[in-house]
């Protein structure tokens, strides 16, 4: 009984026999093969080597390589045909192509189908061996019907070990491996022959996706001997270098096991209706011998490398006497490296492979025939001084890329990619250059004015497209010559505006092509896209428009020509934000917000000055005893004159928005004042203080501010009922701020640091109306409403920096208003039998209006001015205050307090400590 496996892999185990000497360097391996002569060796054998890997291991294998003839006269008609069998000099990029044309049903035929085929003896010695070739699958073969279909295939016949020994071939003992394309009654797919099934044919529908239409496909069948302890053989079927089926046929052959391929058949079959033509190329057969190989020395024969897990090297100065073929798979890229001075006498054929050429001083790798780059392959290597010599032609299919420095003696035809050099490089074509509509020329340029070049000795027939990339940079408006043609330029590329050959394309420049009679010239020029078109926020738009005006300068500054013009669509918005200087606008928010410390101090002082209990702000130091509390009472007796002090520390977080980034600040300072009574109902006083604030935007910018405050205040209270009083409190203050800031401007291609020093003044006027009353003898409650105005004026200044990114910032004014309503409450407590402990609570709601989003107007050197916005003040804020005071004695009290403000995207927290001493 026969055993079958799909998609399995097994290593070959037996060395075969042949003739010639194979030298493999790096493995201390050398063997002379002895020929077994039989009557089947009808053609002159040409020795060779096959390297291939199995099962994902590092196993590689070698072959004695016997090419099948491409002369139709060497082939034998197998059956009476309605067909013609000829050879084409070239077809679809291949030379010496065999064609088999199958016609419709012949008159007088007794059937509706015919078999037509041609065979040739393989002359393969016994042992692990293979037969195969490439078949062209037309696009029109994608599907068929039960009455109109195509079958085209490669067959093989085998001999047993006994037949090999005697030289007597018995057709009844033969195994006939067959791999066949068919589209009968469905999609194009593969079939293989397996006699253990009912009809011998096994359809493989999963192979539908392996077939390349309008392209060449690789087919081979490998006869693996001694796959088990009984010495049985197996046939491995490969399509496009993928193992698709394993047939173990021994038990179905009366215990005889195939030992050797006898012949190869080329077959077409139709249903007597369809006329079609099959095309085959690169037909070959050979013997497989297992051995780990990663370097090949001199080998006077053809070499085939298939699915080798490690790169295979043709040693320095080594010569391959025939053609070198390298085959990978769609999932595995085979690598073949030619060392300096390595020579391939025949063609170099790359399929799913990378060809790497290494050149030494005065030593060039050489390909004596044609160079084929196919099935997703690529080449690289060589230098401008030591190019890789290709004495024949170059063929590149639409899936592949020919790169490196090449010297092609003949013509070059490409439907794929041509990429001169490994950075800047040259491909020389001695004959004509023929580009298909799918072709792409990859051109690299650099800041020194160099470019990749394709130099054509004949006519350059242009089609397809051009992609441009930069090595380090580019020259604006410079002529880069990317192609020359001694015989003239015929046609043009599809677009006069190539695309950038990278993911992050330049946003504001584009490559353009123009044509001379004998050359193609590329220039990089300013495109029509505006800087602002890629901006993402209003601040970025403002900066972009200002940068655009730098292009009007002669010459444009480096910031414009060598930086911004070279931004990508993704990088440009980041650059605009980095250049904006929005930290100067955001710091205005901090300076405006911090004016509240003076207001809170004044309100608290005036609240207590008329006998109110403590608030979250201020304690009083009384110079004399006297006075009864009007409402509630105060733990420190009030006199006609008083002095107070207030120390604070706080921190703020502004989340920012899409336009301006986050800003954090911390502050600390003190305020002190002195006041006196005017009549029985008024107080008038003055204050002074100092505060220090640091701020940063969590990254590129930070600074600090020293603030010096002076001011005056007044207030009064009037009785309103038995337990209440109406209070009015007001004041004005001016804070002189000296600001120092540092800014780092960093984005791709640019880095600089800036610093600045400038002044800003904040003037405020404020007032409050309140009604406080005693809820009981220990508790006081006060609803209140207040209003304030803050005017901020900042001076002009210019940053210090080393580039044109330094800003000149204009002076600017803003006007902001705050209205607040709230409720204060305080109560006395007895602690451990001692009176004099007081707790208080304050809650309110503040609304800001006017200029709540600060702005800053600036300009680059020579640019138009632009205005950016900073982080805004919170429009609506919740206010919370709380604290506790302890009476240390009748003349002294110690207090601690907290104030918090919470708005949309803004939070501010501060703490204070107060000491009150009366004299």
Do 701 and 818 fall into the same domain? yes
pLDDT value for 116: 60
Chain centre distance of CA 375: 26
Per-residue pLDDT averaged across 329-354, rounded?
85
Angle separating helix axes 538-549 and 571-579, nearest 10 degrees: 90
Q: What share of the chain is helix, strand, coil (3-state, %, to 5)?
A: 10, 55, 40
pLDDT value for 892: 64
Do 773 and 862 fall into the same domain? yes
Chain centre distance of CA 750: 21
Does pLDDT of 803 surpass 70?
Answer: yes
In a domain, 882, yes or no: yes
Do 224 and 364 fall into the same domain? no
Range with the largest mean pLDDT of 62-71, 81-90, 153-162, 856-865: 856-865
Tokens representing residue 175 in the block: 């195994």
Do 767 and 863 fall into the same domain? yes
pLDDT value for 104: 64
Cα-Cα-Cα-Cα torsion 431, 435, 439, 445, nearest 10 degrees, comes to: 60
Q: Provide the pLDDT confidence category of residue 13 given band limits of 50, 70 and 90.
A: very low
Tokens representing residue 601 in the block: 């101090």
φ and ψ at residue 261, rounded to 5 degrees = -70, 135
Do 746 and 630 fall into the same domain? yes
Which residue intervals of 683-782 are DSSP H helices? none
pLDDT value for 617: 47
pLDDT value for 36: 24
pLDDT value for 411: 97
Which residue is associated with the tokens 């020029």?
A: 525
First vs last C-alpha separation in the chain: 119
In a domain, 564, yes or no: no
pLDDT value for 504: 57
Range with the largest mean pLDDT of 105-119, 485-499, 756-770, 799-813: 756-770
In a domain, 313, yes or no: no
φ and ψ at residue 184, rounded to 5 degrees = -60, 120
- Give the HSE-up count for residue 90: Cα atoms under 13 Å, Cβ half-sphere: 6
Do 117 and 201 fall into the same domain? yes
Q: pTM higher than 0.75, yes or no?
A: no
In this structure, the number of other CB atoms found within 10 A of the CB of residue 837 comes to 17
pLDDT tens across 600-653, in order?
Answer: 999 988 887 776 555 544 444 333 333 344 344 444 445 578 888 899 999 999
* Alpha-carbon gap, residue 544 to 860, rounded angstroms: 11
Among 142, 18, 72, residue whose Cα is nearest residue 283: 72
Do 146 and 210 fall into the same domain? yes
> Which of 202-206, 375-379, 549-553, 882-886 has the lowest average pLDDT?
882-886
Whether 528 and 507 have beta carbons less than 8 Å apart is answered as: no
- The DSSP code for 590 is H
Among 853, 822, 826, residue whose Cα is nearest residue 837: 826
E-strand spans in 42-149? 48-52, 61-67, 76-77, 83-91, 94-102, 114-121, 129-137, 143-144
Do 587 and 522 fall into the same domain? no
Edge to edge, the sheet with strand 178-182 lists 76-77, 114-121, 258-270, 150-160, 178-182, 189-193, 201-204
Range of the domain at 838: 579-917
pLDDT tens across 417-448, in order?
Answer: 999 998 899 999 999 999 999 999 999 999 89
In a domain, 769, yes or no: yes
Per-residue pLDDT averaged across 104-128, rounded?
57
In a domain, 135, yes or no: yes
Q: At 151, which CATH number?
A: 2.60.120.200
Do 511 and 610 fall into the same domain? no
Q: At 868, which CATH number?
A: 2.40.128.130
Q: Which residues contact 384 (CB under 8 A, 6 or more apart)?
A: 405, 421, 424, 425, 426
In a domain, 634, yes or no: yes
Do 169 and 227 fall into the same domain? yes
Q: What is the SS3 assignment for 812?
A: strand
Do 763 and 619 fall into the same domain? yes
More confident residue, 690 or 659: 690
Q: Are strands 114-121 and 406-408 parallel, antiparallel or unpaired?
A: unpaired
More confident residue, 201 or 84: 201
Per-residue pLDDT averaged across 283-303, rounded?
70
More confident residue, 276 or 706: 706
pLDDT tens across 205-262, in order?
Answer: 999 999 999 999 999 898 888 787 777 888 999 998 889 999 887 555 555 678 888 8
pLDDT value for 90: 87
Per-residue pLDDT averaged across 289-313, rounded?
68
Number of domain units in the chain: 3
Examine the fold and report which residue of 228, 260, 287 is the final residue of a domain before the chain moves on. 287
In a domain, 28, yes or no: no
Among 297, 318, 305, residue whose Cα is nearest residue 27: 297
Share of the chain above pLDDT 70, in %: 82
Examine the fold and report which residue of 486, 507, 526 is the final residue of a domain before the chain moves on. 526
In a domain, 324, yes or no: no
Do 667 and 591 fall into the same domain? yes
**ω into residue 555 within 30 of 0, thus cis?**
yes
- The DSSP code for 570 is T
Q: Which residues contact 24 (CB under 8 A, 6 or more apart)?
A: 30, 62, 291, 293, 295, 296, 297
Tokens representing residue 139 in the block: 């696009």
pLDDT value for 615: 54
pLDDT value for 808: 96
Which residue is associated with the tokens 């030591």?
A: 386
DSSP 330-389: SS--EEEEEPTT-EESS-EEEESEEEEE--BTTB--EESS-EEEESS-EEEE--SSSPEE
pLDDT value for 457: 98
């Amino acid at each position: 009984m026969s055993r079958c496996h799909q998609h399995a892999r097994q290593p070959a185990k037996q060395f075969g026999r042949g003739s010639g000497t194979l030298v493999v360097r790096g493995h201390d391996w050398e063997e002379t093969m002895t020929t077994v002569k039989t009557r089947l060796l009808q053609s002159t054998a040409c020795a060779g080597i096959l390297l291939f890997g199995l099962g994902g291991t590092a196993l590689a294998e070698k072959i004695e390589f016997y090419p099948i003839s491409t002369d139709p006269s060497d082939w034998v008609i197998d059956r009476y045909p309605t067909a013609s069998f000829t050879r084409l000099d070239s077809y679809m990029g291949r030379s010496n192509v065999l064609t088999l044309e199958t016609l419709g049903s012949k008159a007088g035929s007794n059937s509706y189908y015919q078999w037509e085929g041609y065979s040739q003896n393989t002359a393969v010695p016994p042992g692990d061996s293979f037969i195969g070739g490439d078949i062209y699958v037309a696009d029109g073969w994608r599907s068929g019907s039960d009455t109109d279909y195509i079958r085209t295939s490669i067959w093989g016949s085998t001999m047993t070990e006994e037949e090999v020994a005697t030289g007597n071939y018995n057709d009844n003992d033969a195994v006939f491996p067959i791999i066949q394309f068919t589209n009968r009654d469905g999609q194009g797919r593969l079939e293989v022959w397996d006699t253990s099934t009912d009809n011998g044919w096994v359809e493989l529908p999963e192979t539908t996706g392996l077939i390349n239409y309008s392209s060449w496909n690789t087919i081979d069948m490998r006869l693996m001997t001694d796959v088990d302890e009984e010495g049985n053989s197996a046939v491995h079927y490969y399509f496009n270098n993928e193992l698709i089926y394993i047939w173990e046929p021994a038990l179905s052959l009366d215990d005889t096991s195939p030992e050797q391929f006898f012949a190869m058949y080329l077959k077409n079959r139709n249903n007597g209706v369809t006329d079609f033509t099959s095309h085959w190329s690169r037909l070959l057969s050979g013997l497989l011998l297992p051995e780990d190989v990663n370097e090949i020395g001199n080998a006077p024969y053809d070499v085939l490398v298939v699915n080798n897990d490690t790169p295979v090297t043709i040693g320095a100065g080594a010569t391959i006497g025939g053609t070198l073929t390298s085959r990978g798979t769609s999932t595995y890229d085979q690598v073949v490296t030619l060392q300096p001075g390595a020579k391939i006498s025949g063609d170099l054929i790359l399929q799913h492979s990378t060809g790497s050429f290494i050149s030494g001083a005065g030593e060039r790798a050489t390909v004596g025939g044609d160079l084929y780059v196919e099935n997703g392959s690529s080449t690289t290597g060589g230098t401008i001084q030591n190019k890789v010599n290709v004495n024949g032609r170059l063929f590149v299919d639409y899936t592949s890329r020919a790169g490196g420095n090449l010297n092609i003696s003949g013509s070059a035809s490409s439907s794929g990619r041509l990429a001169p050099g490994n950075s800047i490089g040259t491909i020389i074509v001695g004959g004509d250059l023929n580009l298909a509509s799918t072709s792409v020329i990859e051109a690299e340029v650099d800041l020194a004015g160099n470019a990749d070049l394709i130099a054509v000795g004949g006519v350059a027939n242009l089609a397809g497209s051009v992609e441009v990339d930069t090595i380090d940079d580019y020259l604006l408006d410079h002529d880069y010559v990317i192609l020359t043609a001694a015989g003239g330029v015929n046609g043009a590329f599809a677009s006069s505006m190539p695309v950038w050959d990278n993911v992050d394309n330049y946003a504001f420049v584009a490559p353009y092509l123009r044509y001379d009679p004998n050359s193609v010239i590329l220039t990089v020029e300013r495109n029509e896209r505006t800087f602002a078109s890629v901006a993402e926020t209003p601040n970025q738009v403002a900066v972009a428009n200002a940068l655009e005006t730098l292009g009007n300068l002669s010459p444009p500054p480096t910031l414009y020509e060598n930086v911004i013009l070279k931004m990508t669509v993704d990088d440009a918005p980041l650059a605009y934000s980095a250049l904006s200087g929005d930290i100067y606008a955001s710091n205005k928010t901090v300076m405006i917000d911090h004016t509240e410390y003076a207001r809170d101090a004044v309100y608290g002082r005036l609240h207590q000055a008329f006998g109110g209990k403590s608030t979250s702000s201020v304690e009083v130091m009384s110079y004399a005893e006297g006075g009864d509390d009007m409402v509630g009472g105060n733990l420190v007796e009030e006199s006609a004159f008083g002095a107070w002090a207030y120390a604070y520390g706080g921190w703020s977080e502004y989340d920012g928005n899409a336009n301006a980034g986050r800003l954090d600040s911390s502050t600390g300072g003190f305020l002190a004042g002195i006041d006196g009574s005017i009549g029985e109902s008024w107080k008038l006083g003055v204050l002074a203080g100092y505060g220090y604030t640091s701020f940063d935007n969590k990254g590129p910018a930070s600074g600090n501010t020293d603030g010096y405050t002076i001011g005056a205040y007044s207030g009064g209270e009037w009785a309103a009922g038995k337990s209440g009083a109406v209070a009015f409190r007001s004041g004005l203050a001016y804070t002189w701020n000296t600001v120092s800031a540092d800014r780092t401007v960093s984005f791709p291609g640019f880095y600089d640091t800036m610093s600045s020093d400038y002044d800003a003044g904040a003037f405020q006027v404020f007032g409050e109306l309140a009604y406080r009353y005693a809820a009981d003898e220990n508790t006081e409650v006060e609803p209140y409403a207040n209003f304030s105005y803050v005017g901020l004026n900042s001076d002009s200044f210019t940053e210090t920096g080393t580039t044109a990114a330094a800003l000149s910032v204009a002076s600017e004014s803003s006007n902001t208003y705050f209205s607040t309503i709230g409720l204060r409450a305080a109560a006395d407590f007895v602690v451990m039998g001692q009176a004099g402990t007081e707790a208080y609570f304050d809650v309110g709601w503040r609304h800001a209006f006017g200029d709540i989003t600060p702005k800053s107007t600036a300009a680059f050197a020579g640019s138009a001015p632009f205005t950016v916005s900073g982080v805004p003040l919170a429009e609506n804020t919740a206010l919370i205050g709380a604290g506790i005071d302890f009476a240390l004695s009748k003349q002294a009290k110690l207090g601690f307090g907290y104030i918090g403000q919470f708005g949309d995207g803004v939070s501010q927290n501060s703490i204070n400590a107060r000491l009150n001493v009366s004299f």
